[in-house]
Amino acid sequence: MVEPERLISFRVSWVDDNGEIHVNRGYRIQMNSAIGPYKGGLRFHPSVNASILKFLAFEQVFKNSLTTLPMGGGKGGSDFDPKGKSDDEVMRFCHAFMSELCRHIGPNTDVPAGDIGVGSREIGFLFGMYKKMRNEFTGVLTGKGLSWGGSKIRPEATGYGTVYFAQSMLKTKGEDFEGKTVVISGSGNVAQFAAEKVLHLGGKVVTLSDSGGYIYDEEGIDKKKLAYVMDLKNNKRGRISEYAKKYKSAKFVSGGIPWEVKCDIALPCATQNELDGKSAKTLIKNKCMCVAEGANMPSTPEAIHEFQKAQILFAPGKASNAGGVATSGLEMSQNSLRISWTREEVDERLKDIMEDIHDSCIEYGKEKDGYCNYVKGANIAGFVKVADAMLAQGVI
Amino acid sequence: MDAKMQAKIDGFMEEVKIRNGHEPEFIQAVQEVAETIIPYIARKKYIAVKTFCCAW
């Protein structure tokens, strides 16, 4: 289970707007297919290497198993940096990337999705090239546009799912989001929709961040302000610092991380290892009662240790952010059935899946003293299903 | 956690490190899972101990 079934590395050559040739490295880690086709996102970021993708693919195996849907685990991407590239350059890169990847994936083999640096624009370019090379229109990628095979709620799913999961956690303590102060890191897809759902449930979101620092808005980021952030990040591709220029109630803390802000609930939605032991201690001191990871492995082992020692509610990403891949699984189902479910249908299924994952965590993670160790619960629940399938299929 | 269990986990992680020594994030992810799964396998006398520990 710790050795990938297949690790593919390949050259991606492309030409920029000035006619210069660039060479990047592309990867696909096909980690485990015991319970379904490999499934996991593609990440385009300069930090991408085999170690990062293997950790993500490894976690994906457990996460996908937890969703109750038939999906194996995989991950891929490239060290290509989409930041500052023109649309044409991104398109040429995506096409070059898929011209090799297409021979390794397929709707019954391996179904990639987006991740950091791969959004609907990139999925479009990747899908287009796959369709051209293979001459077939299939559900080979998820996160597709609504008019060409995508699922409703897919863009919102990871963020919504994280909040649904946190809601289930709070319920075990007789609490909910109503009136709670929530600190969110990141300002991408996951953070934006987590914020949207928190607002919907009556919580108050006071921070968002990016690699430059974080903004703290004491009055709360309301719907209108969130719409501004979405436009800023998704269309203008600007920096979060611009938020503090637009809204006087906010301040921008350059280079800072939002964990120093007093809150009831923290949702780390940026990237791996963004929340260390020291930050965890600060959160606990500030009476934070619940931490649910929207990103993958944002808390360091020291941070997790602190949360568990203080016995506050803590959910690892492989449980709390599984809503994204779960909805990808629902997109695959819709593609296979050649139908499209309504927004309400998908949302309802997502909610049910997140509740099921929460129940599994409780089943396997509840300690003798009544404290639920969600890390243990998620790992064991995910493991059991995959291990049983591997044993049933014999030594292969 | 008792010393015997810790030794089991450490032994497993040693093998993982030998094969993936240059991959810190991967080792971190495996460590976190191993710490919860290996005691579970041992407690349940789960046959899958071989799947996790030996299926390289």
Put simply, the answer to whether A272 touches B51 (Cβ < 8 Å) is: no
Closest approach of B33 to chain A, Cα-based (Å): 6
Q: Does A389 touch chain B (CB under 8 A)?
A: no
> Chain B residues with CB inside 8 Å of A52's CB?
25-26
- Tell me the C-alpha distance between A316 and A294, whole Å: 8
DSSP string, A147-200: GGT--TTHHHHHHHHHHHHHHHHHHTTT--STT-EEEEE--SHHHHHHHHHHHH
- Tell me the C-alpha distance between A319 and A354, whole Å: 8
- The per-residue pLDDT for A163 is 98
pLDDT in tens, A142-195: 999 999 999 999 999 999 999 999 999 999 999 999 999 999 999 999 999 999
> To 10 degrees, what angle do helices A154-171 and A323-337 make?
130
Active site residue A309: no
Comparing alpha-carbon positions, the chain A residue that sits nearest to B21 is A51
- Tell me the C-alpha distance between A226 and A224, whole Å: 5
- The per-residue pLDDT for A297 is 87
Q: Do A137 and A327 form a contact (C-beta atoms < 8 A)?
A: no
Q: Which stretches within A220-338 are classed as H helix?
A: 223-234, 241-246, 277-285, 301-309, 317-320, 323-337
pLDDT in tens, A338-391: 999 999 999 999 999 999 999 999 999 999 999 999 999 999 999 999 999 998
Query: Splitting chain A (396 residues) into consecutive groups of 10 residues, what average pLDDT does each group show?
Result: 96 98 98 97 96 95 95 98 95 98 97 93 97 96 96 95 97 96 96 97 97 96 97 92 96 95 97 94 97 94 96 96 95 96 97 96 94 95 92 87
For residue A351, the tally of other CB atoms under 10 A from its CB is 16
Sheet architecture: strand order including A110-114: A6-15, A21-32, A73-78, A38-44, A110-114
- The per-residue pLDDT for A29 is 98
Write out the H or E segment, with its range, that includes residue A92: helix A87-101
Put simply, the answer to whether A51 touches B26 (Cβ < 8 Å) is: yes
pLDDT in tens, B25-56: 999 999 999 999 998 888 876 555 555 555 43
- The per-residue pLDDT for B46 is 58
Average pLDDT rounded to a whole number, residues B4-33: 92
Closest approach of A298 to chain B, Cα-based (Å): 11
SS3 A265: strand
- Residue A3 per-residue DSSP state: S
> Chain A residues with CB inside 8 Å of B51's CB?
1, 387, 390-391
Nearest to B1 by CA among B28, B36, B41, B52: B36
Which of A54, A376, A383 lies at the smallest CB-CB distance from B26? Answer: A54
- The per-residue pLDDT for B50 is 55
Which of B20, B25, B37 lies at the smallest CB-CB distance from A383? Answer: B37
- Tell me the C-alpha distance between A11 and A20, whole Å: 16
Put simply, the answer to whether B37 touches A380 (Cβ < 8 Å) is: yes
Closest approach of A300 to chain B, Cα-based (Å): 9
- The per-residue pLDDT for B42 is 82
Catalytic residue among A75, A144, A180, A318: A75
Complex ipTM: 0.88
- The per-residue pLDDT for B52 is 56
